[in-house]
Amino acid sequence: MTLRLVRIFWVVTRYRLDTLIPLDRLPLPLRLLLILSPLRLVPIGQRSRSERLRLALEALGPIFVKFGQMLSTRRDLLPKDIADELRRLQDQVPPFPGEAAVSRVEEELEMSLTEAFARFDSTPLASASIAQVHAATLHSGEEVVVKIIRPGIERVMRQDMALMYRVARLLSLVPEARRLRPLEVVRDYEATLFDELDLHKEAANTSQLKRNFKDSPLLYVPAIHWPLTRRGVMVQERIHGIPVADLAALEAQGTDLKKLAERGVEIFFTQVFRDNFFHADMHPGNIFVAEGKPQDPQYIAIDCGIVGSLTREDQDYLARNLLAFFHQDYYEVAALHIESGWVGEGTRANEFAAAIRAVCEPILEKPLKDISFGQVLLGLFQTARRFHMEVQPQLVLLQKTLLNIEGLGRQLYPDLDLWSTAKPYLERWMKERAGPRGFLESLKRQAPELTRQLPELPVLAHQALTQVEAERQQRRRQSDALAGMRRHLKHAARGARRLRFGVLLLALALAWQPLLNWAGQQPWPVLAAAALGALLLAWH
């Protein structure tokens, strides 16, 4: 851990990342600390600030590269030069040697490369933070790509996660940060990130997503070649498409960018609400557009290592919240938060609604180019601090995906109105979910279980009634026992009082003559005090 911290500090120093911090926005103590820091003695060099940031993230490893990938989609929040440079992290991370890739493939498949493939290109097609991809041809003639996990990546990731846990524990000690539930968020991120190291899981996710969008004009998912897929190696159908971030190529083939952007939103909501299975790593490096369909554009999705799903309760909660936002019904939003227990006890719905209105009212009914989710989230966090709202870890992946969708929409068609595109879909989904069709679907889904349990209902009813009667009798026995204990304690108390009174009388009888002699020699106040003490003792 100490060595990792030293390395992080060395990388920050080497690339002078402190120069990216806007000093004028910092409090005076931090500003003075940075101005007087020894870091300023290190030369900046000839590289631009954006290149230094990218190289630093690459040097720090996969977790930091993932962070840079997410930032690269937020061109509205970043200067253009930094956003352009961070885009290279999506598929241009420095590769590991081809010899190591060949060795890893043969080790995983337990066969020689010539047995597995008719052709294998040792030069990678693309290289990302956790794996890289090589082109190959099967003996059947089918073109495929081979995805290979980076050697030694798990050890580096565990070091970074241990560091993140340490930071999260420190944040948990701060009352203002505790509501963000940093430990739970890091725990969820860890589970998601390490799932990417198992390509069997990614292959299964890909197959599920392909099945969900079978014959769909919206999305195409390449098929998995299962006989040559292992935990560290995955073989998949090769696709030929235009990277979604290559606007020049999309415009050159006459792509309907408005329709493409709208279909991206529809795909997202379809995955979240219809399938409850969504691609949660939708940065531009994982999204392509099919060639030859400019007026009927179709997406192609790859890299399903990170997927998400919600409980039925979370689905309903999310849909009702979004619809309430679309209808500008902030009181309903506040009531839903209070009902779910996500805000502090005793929160008044009208006050919470007023706070949400102040944050969200400016963003509605505007084109996407005029909406900054970054500013909205900042405002919501400020509201959350006031009402003690807690971050829900199960929605962190969904929030990240929404940020990616927003960034993608800004690049494709800045005038896209996300709200008007999503609102009809959500209204239709809620109607189907809560209406007769939803009821019938729920009945059909539960019918096998109900059919299985139906013959057992009389027995279950008899057992329930028997249990109720047994509990009633047990409560009666407990009540009788308590009453007996109270009577016993009452008798015992009376016996104790009689015993004390008898002992007092016996003591007086035995000491009567000495007491009379003593009393004859005492003044009346002493005798009165002694008599009062004897009476109190007898009464107690």
Task: Give me the residue label for tokens 């930091």.
Answer: 64
Using DSSP's 3-state secondary structure scheme, residue 532 falls into helix
Cα of 265 vs its chain's centroid, Å: 21
DSSP 38: G
- 336: tokens are 């839903």
CA 119 to CA 137: how far, in whole Å? 5
281 catalytic? Reply is: yes
Among candidate residues 172, 306, 149, 309, the one with its CA nearest the CA of residue 234: 149
Per-residue b or e along 160-191, where b marks 16 or more CB atoms closer than 10 Å to that residue's CB = bbeebeeebeebeeeeeeebbbbbbbbbbbbe
As a three-state string, the secondary structure of 149-206 is: ECCCHHHHHHHHHHHHHHHHHHHHCCHHHHCCCHHHHHHHHHHHHHHCCCHHHHHHHH
- 434: tokens are 């809560």
- 341: tokens are 């227990």
CA distances from 440 to 270, 427, 430 (A): 20, 19, 14
* C-beta of residue 331 within 8 angstroms of C-beta of residue 298: no
* C-beta of residue 59 within 8 angstroms of C-beta of residue 11: yes
CA atoms within 13 A on the CB side of 113: 17
Number of C-beta neighbours around residue 488 at 10 A: 10
CA 339 to CA 66: how far, in whole Å? 35
* C-beta of residue 397 within 8 angstroms of C-beta of residue 305: no
* C-beta of residue 300 within 8 angstroms of C-beta of residue 241: yes
Task: Give me the residue label for tokens 């102040």.
Answer: 358
- 70: tokens are 């997410």
Task: Give me the residue label for tokens 């990731």.
Answer: 157
**Strand 287-290 vs strand 143-149: parallel, antiparallel, or unpaired?**
unpaired
Helices (H), 341-394: 349-360, 373-387
Those residues with Cβ within 8 angstroms of residue 172's Cβ, 6 or more apart along the chain or in another chain: 178, 182, 183
Using DSSP's 3-state secondary structure scheme, residue 535 falls into helix
Q: What angle do CA 234, 149, 229 make, to 5 degrees?
A: 20
Q: Which residue in 281, 316, 329, 417 is the catalytic one?
A: 281
Active site residues: 281
